[in-house]
Chains A and B, each alone.
Chain A
Amino acid sequence: EIVMTQSPATLSVSPGESATLSCRASQSVTINLAWYQQKPGQAPRLLIYGAATRATGIPARFSGSGSGTEFTLTISSLQSEDFAVYYCQQYKEWPLLSFGPGTKVDIK
């Protein structure tokens, strides 16, 4: 089973600043990685797949990078609507998909 970890657990950022979130896999997932955003009381929303491809309708301030075991989600110039929890998910080991524990981005 591929175990996903995320850091930090919580990231405090001021509006307009950038945020860098990390995701690590216990073994290589090549680029089979997705990122999701979840706001309180809402379902998750797909942001990024294939480690770096933005999903339909996702603003350009969201960018993903990485391959193998190390991945990064960068949110440039944070807007008020970006404060949320972000999850990474590997799909290399289908059907044994796994999610990271999440990073909460809150207002500094």
Chain B
Amino acid sequence: QVQLVESGGGVVQPGRSLRLSCAASGFTFSRYAMYWVRQAPGKGLEWVAVIPYDGSNEYYGDSVKGRFTISRDNSNNTLYLQMHSLRGEDTAVYYCARSHLALYFDSWGQGTLVTVSS
């Protein structure tokens, strides 16, 4: 079955960097667009970044543009999110999500918590 397992979260000081990973299994990873979606504590869902199946392009939400970079390694079935210049408002659970035709999310990981605090 489809499995998405995020890792790399933790507590980080404002202004620092962090890299999240998402290991995919149970499907042909290289055929799907992949997203990072986040959820601040007690809040709703916000899409962060998307990368097409072949890594040919990337798109970012306004709140992270210029600070975050999404990438993928199709040979190792892994999705990444490199986060720089972290702010308190980046504190959230970060989910990786498989996207059907890059439109809606048909599978989600369990999430990894990023806490930005001094």
Task: Note whether A and B form a binding pair.
Answer: yes
Q: Which of B4-57 contact A (CB under 8 A)?
A: 44-47, 50
- A62 CB–B CB distance under 8 Å: no
- Contact status B104-A45, CB under 8 Å: no
Q: List residues of chain B with CB within 8 A of the CB of A34.
A: 103-105
Tell me the complex Cα distance, A44–B96, Å: 11
- B100: which A residues are within 8 A, CB to CB? 49
What residues of chain B lie closer than 8 Å to A100, measured between beta carbons?
44
Interface size classification for chain B: 10 to 19
Chain A residues positioned under 8 Å from B50 (CB to CB): 95
Tell me which residues across on chain A come within 8 A of B111, comparing CB atoms. Answer: 43
Q: How far is the CA of A45 from the CA of B2 in the complex (A)?
A: 13
Q: Which of B86-118 contact A (CB under 8 A)?
A: 95, 100, 102-111
A99 at the interface (CB under 8 A from B): yes
* Contact with A102, one of B44, B103, B106 (Cβ below 8 angstroms): B44
- Point out the residue from A32, A36, A99, A101 that lies within 8 Å of B103, measured CB to CB: A32
Chain A residues, Cβ within 8 Å of B108: 43-45
- State whether B46 touches A46 (Cβ < 8 A): no
Residues of chain B having any CB pair with chain A under 8 Å: 44-47, 50, 59, 95, 100, 102-111
A95-B50, A97-B47 known, 6 other contacts, Cβ within 8 Å: A44-B95, A45-B108, A46-B104, A46-B105, A49-B100, A102-B45
